Amino acid sequence: MKLLDHSNPADHVLLGVINDDWPFQFLSEFSRFHMHYFNEKIKIVYDEVSKAYMPIRLLNVKFFSPAQILFAPFRDAKEISSNEQTEFFNRLIQMLQKNESFERLVQPHPYGILSAYPQGAEYCEFGTYIVDLENQSEEQLLEKFHPKYQKAVAHSVNNGAIVKIGKETLPDFYKTYSSTMKKGGLHLDKFEYFKTVSNFMGDDHICSAVVYDNNEPVSGIFLLYSKYSAFLTHAGTQGDSKLYGAAKLLNFEVMKYLKNKHVKRYDFVGVRLKNNNPALDGIFRFKKGFGGDLKEGYLWKKDILPLKAKAYDLISKIKSGRNQIVDIIDQVNKD
């Protein structure tokens, strides 16, 4: 296995197969953004055995070297099978242990659902709803919506909802997003993040969209995409509005917009399976209502060098007085 780098000219031949038909996490623009904004490198793992590639993020942590898988292994712009993924991950772990490259592989990003997990990994079942944009007409997309969603779309249209799509909507999108995050006490990405990723990825890889009621933004979404798929990474709502179906109309209009740009899929980015949390169950039902297919898989993590990883956890706990950060895997397994 090799760790390739888009910034290294010597790797350009092997990386030359990657294009806009692959997920955005593989693209050089995304690597450059990450280095600029987070000061973190993204490497592309290349496996000579399977001829598959996988993006991996090197997290910037003082005195520690964790890494994060960003997406499933791909070959010829397609995800490899679950059996191949198991073998790929086992070879990756063996290489990392031999080279002592990283102490830990942390939980993948929720948009990076994997079809398999290696032996000895901690894992949880995870899924996402994906709408097929490529093989359905606009009419068929709406027909797949839950009947209540179809009525909500019609209601919003009949009551004067206006949907705007483009980089100029970023400030209004951010109003809706920050309102939702603050209300829920959740992590809030800075506005600078959205400006920067938009500048690096360009108009053909980001989509900001907002629905308005009397010129007031009531719902907004932000997506990163390539022709392979769009990923709805951020969303929010704010204020009271007569447009009870605003978010449904917004997603439908963005689906049509991306379909016309030849994007093949619309990924709602993650739902927890076998979940007992009523709030999360509401998110599951909301995403399911758009008529997508449920892709099921796993999130997993594993200590590559267990002694060093546990030593870091102990030192961090002593310094901060807290246990290590709880991720989705920990939360699900605790429930």
In the predicted structure, residue 334 carries a pLDDT above the cut 90: no
Report d(CA 173, CA 221) in Å as an integer: 6
Q: How many Cβ atoms sit within 10 Å of the Cβ of residue 146?
A: 15
- Same domain for 95 and 122? yes
Quick check: is 278 in a domain?
Answer: no
- Same domain for 158 and 43? no
- Same domain for 164 and 55? no
In the predicted structure, residue 197 carries a pLDDT above the cut 90: yes
Quick check: is 279 in a domain?
Answer: no
In the predicted structure, residue 323 carries a pLDDT above the cut 60: no
- Same domain for 248 and 308? no
- Please report, for the domain that includes residue 148, its CATH number: 3.40.630.30
- Same domain for 147 and 238? yes
Q: Which pLDDT tens digit goes with each residue over 21-70?
A: 999 999 999 999 999 999 999 999 999 999 999 999 998 777 778 899 99
- Same domain for 117 and 143? no
DSSP result, 214-266: TTEEEEEEEEEE-SS-EEEEEEEE-S--S-TTHHHHHHHHHHHHHHHTT--EE
Indicate the pLDDT class of residue 281, thresholds 50, 70 and 90.
confident
- Same domain for 78 and 44? yes
Quick check: is 276 in a domain?
Answer: no
Report d(CA 113, CA 234) in Å as an integer: 17
Quick one: average pLDDT of 158-168? 95
Average pLDDT, the chain: 91
Instruction: Single out the residue in 263, 288, 307 at which a domain terminates.
Output: 263
Quick one: average pLDDT of 280-293? 86
Q: How many Cβ atoms sit within 10 Å of the Cβ of residue 150?
A: 18
Quick one: average pLDDT of 165-172? 96
Which pLDDT belongs to residue 316? Answer: 67
Instruction: Single out the residue in 221, 245, 263 at which a domain terminates.
Output: 263
Domain count across the chain:
2
- Same domain for 115 and 43? yes
- Please report, for the domain that includes residue 81, its CATH number: 3.40.630
Residue 47 is inside which H or E element, if any?
A: strand 41-47
Quick check: is 60 in a domain?
Answer: yes
Assigned token pair, 142: 């709406």
- Same domain for 189 and 217? yes
Q: Higher model confidence: residue 77 or residue 282?
A: 77
Amino acid letter, 245: G
Report d(CA 44, CA 8) in Å as an integer: 11
Which pLDDT belongs to residue 330? Answer: 81
The secondary structure of residue 300, as a DSSP letter, is E
- Same domain for 240 and 330? no
Which pLDDT belongs to residue 309? Answer: 75
Report d(CA 85, CA 50) in Å as an integer: 9
Cβ–Cβ < 8 Å for 280, 272: yes
Which pLDDT belongs to residue 12? Answer: 96
Quick check: is 283 in a domain?
Answer: no
Phi and psi torsions of 213, nearest 5°? -120, 110
Report d(CA 170, CA 6) in Å as an integer: 28
Report d(CA 257, CA 27) in Å as an integer: 22
- Same domain for 138 and 123? no
Quick check: is 100 in a domain?
Answer: yes
- Same domain for 258 and 148? yes
Indicate the pLDDT class of residue 297, thresholds 50, 70 and 90.
very high
Quick check: is 287 in a domain?
Answer: no
Q: Among positive and negative, which fits the CA dihedral 200, 204, 208, 212?
A: positive
In the predicted structure, residue 199 carries a pLDDT above the cut 80: yes
Residue 196 is inside which H or E element, if any?
A: helix 191-201
Cβ–Cβ < 8 Å for 263, 229: yes
Q: Which pLDDT tens digit goes with each residue over 9-25?
A: 999 999 999 999 999 99
Domain coverage including residue 197: 134-263
Quick check: is 285 in a domain?
Answer: no
